[in-house]
Structure 1
């Protein structure tokens, strides 16, 4: 630091400023070996790049949608099998053969399985898209996705059913949103 006389202000040279900023700011490069990880919850392992890639693949919208479709198919098949075994027999009055019973059970089971798979796929894809667009992961994503999914499924029955299905679910989700935030 250079000082002229007692009455004058102290002035820092360029070299002094550089030394001072290096002292306070420090080195801008950070090395992986210098990372401090608290071990109060047990040993922590830093993930490798391969582990991060696999984790990103499992958390992608495509994988989540595919798994929802597969799991929905399995759940729908189980519920369809139960429903067909407990449901009333067909309209025919004469006695059915075992082959006809199993064929009817297969039809009902596959129908439930396909419907559950479609709903699972649609809901998961729409929810993941909404979550990605909003940048938040909260209960509203599922509510909005349910409204859109309900509207799209209602469109299969016609435009009026789709509009009323989406509007009804939008009103329902708005009421839930109001209730949750009024507390």
Structure 2
């Protein structure tokens, strides 16, 4: 039986704020591991061209390795590619069901940002999902966690993760890469090197 953080996303690309959030969840919830679950076909981002699933997985692997030499808890970061291997849209509920069949004794905490929590009730099967997982929500500085009314009307477990005010984003990383600017400050040197070698997000 383990306490497990479930950190899903498109990670297009993964950046320093993602790593900071995973570390915060690991430390503040005393988790045994954080599973980085890379979405194969993110249903909420179907209108935008993305880096391939293989590239996004490779970048997450590098981000985890980069952190591994510096933070004692980061050895408990695990890359989970189940959504890449599964055909069709990537729904968190499907992945959580599958995982809980494999490891039924584990307690899962879904790691979210405030923006994701705001749209949580639009997720596929969110009513069942909230019965299966706790919600660990990042709130910056002194901000309060603001949950949707429909979620508050149902039994749920919600914990606030204290986070500094970080401005890094995948959008900024893609814009920098498209302009030929240095993406290292946003994504870290290893991921920046991968983006450069594979000419990801380049307009040319």
- TM-score by shorter chain over 0.5: no
Greater C-alpha Rg: 1
TM-score scaled to structure 1, two decimals? 0.26
Report which of the two has the higher share of helix. 1
| Greater relative CO (CA pairs within 8 A, separation 6+) | 2
